[in-house]
């Protein structure tokens, strides 16, 4: 999505006259997963294409589609004068931060994607350390390519991001006899502050990035960040593409000094002609799939169901996004 809607003032002037008893979902399957709504609440489905359903102007609670499309999302939002709550199905809220009308609260899907994303991170690290891409290439060529690989035990891992995803990564990795250090915006018990990154980067064998995209984290992984990483270290990005400076990352990987496994890029999708594809240090690139697993919809709509029940009862909602987090 680009830019902010131009209807904030008009929305405020008509808000008092519009009932707020609709929950708007983006797909029919969501209605099934949500189950019966609370008494007095109606459920409608519209993704912004085709004709809008009757009563959409009474929507107080909106669940946008998982991979939100800018023009479609804006088309929906312009039809929701009574909107109070936006509940995302994503852990990251960057697509909506600063974009919603005044008075609309934004809630992310914290707790929904921690399991699947931490699984992807673990698979990414193991694939890189044990050199699976090399063996996959050899298998495709029917070539027996014996070699000694690295091992995960005894490595030092730095996880930049200490929310639900970061904590789950830590829990899973510690079963492999590794040393895991967490970094967050602010230092707290068991977590280092972002100001300590320069020293920590120099000691880590693997650096995992799982921060949300905010003005403070945009291009966090820049030339200076990468330059502080030790020779041969592995970068794993499961955050958002713009968290890394693509030019700086491409240059480091092209030199062969660092290696990387990426689930996200900037731009995304990555153009076929982009030099990142062929950089010697790029071990593996996946197309933003860390959270795309069969169990995701059920977990996501279990959260939506709790949130709708709270909203209908006038209770505080979970996962309120503040300052991009």
Residues labelled as active-site residues = 240, 268, 288
Q: What distance, in Å, lies between the first and last C-alpha atoms of the chain?
A: 19
CB-based contact 56:24 (threshold 8 Å): yes
- For tokens 């062969």, the residue is 256
Residue 250 buriedness (CB in 10 A; 0-12 / 13-18 / 19+): buried
Sheet holding 259-262, edge to edge: 192-193, 179-184, 156-160, 206-209, 234-237, 259-262, 282-285
Alpha-carbon distances of 324 from 87, 108, 185, rounded to whole Å:
14, 10, 12
Give residue 130's Cα distance to chain centre.
26
DSSP β-ladder status, 42-45 and 22-25: parallel
CA–CA dist 120, 294 (Å, integer): 14
How far apart, in whole angstroms, are the C-alpha atoms of residue 156 and residue 178?
6
């Amino acid at each position: 999505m680009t830019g902010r809607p131009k209807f904030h003032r008009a929305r405020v002037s008509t808000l008092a006259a519009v009932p707020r008893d609709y929950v708007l979902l983006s797909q029919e399957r969501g209605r099934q997963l949500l189950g019966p709504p609370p008494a007095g609440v109606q459920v409608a489905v519209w993704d912004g294409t085709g004709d809008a359903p009757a009563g959409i102007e009474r929507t107080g609670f909106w669940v946008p589609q998982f991979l939100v499309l800018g023009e479609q999302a804006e088309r929906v939002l312009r039809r929701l004068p009574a909107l109070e709550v936006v509940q995302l199905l994503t852990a990251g809220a960057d697509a909506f931060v600063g974009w919603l009308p005044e008075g609309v609260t934004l809630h992310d899907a914290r707790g929904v994607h921690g399991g699947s994303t931490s699984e992807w991170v673990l698979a990414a690290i193991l694939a890189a350390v044990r050199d699976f891409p090399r063996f996959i290439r050899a298998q495709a060529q029917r070539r027996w390519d014996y070699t000694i690989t690295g091992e995960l035990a005894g490595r030092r891992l730095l996880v930049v991001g200490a929310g639900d995803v970061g904590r789950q990564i830590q829990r899973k990795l510690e079963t492999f006899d590794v040393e895991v250090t967490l970094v967050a915006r602010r230092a707290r018990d068991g977590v280092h502050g972002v100001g300590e990154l320069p020293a920590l980067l120099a000691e880590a064998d693997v650096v995992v990035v799982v921060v949300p995209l905010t003005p403070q984290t945009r291009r966090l992984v820049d030339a200076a960040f990468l330059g502080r990483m030790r020779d041969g270290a592995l970068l794993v990005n499961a955050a958002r593409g713009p968290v890394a400076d693509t030019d700086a990352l491409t240059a480091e990987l092209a030199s062969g000094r660092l290696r990387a496994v990426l689930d996200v890029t900037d731009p995304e999708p990555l153009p076929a002609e982009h030099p990142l594809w062929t950089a010697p240090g790029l071990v593996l690139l996946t197309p933003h799939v860390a959270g795309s697993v069969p169990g995701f919809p059920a977990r996501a709509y279990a959260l939506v169901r709790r949130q709708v029940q709270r909203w209908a009862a006038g209770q505080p909602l979970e996962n309120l996004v503040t300052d991009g987090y």
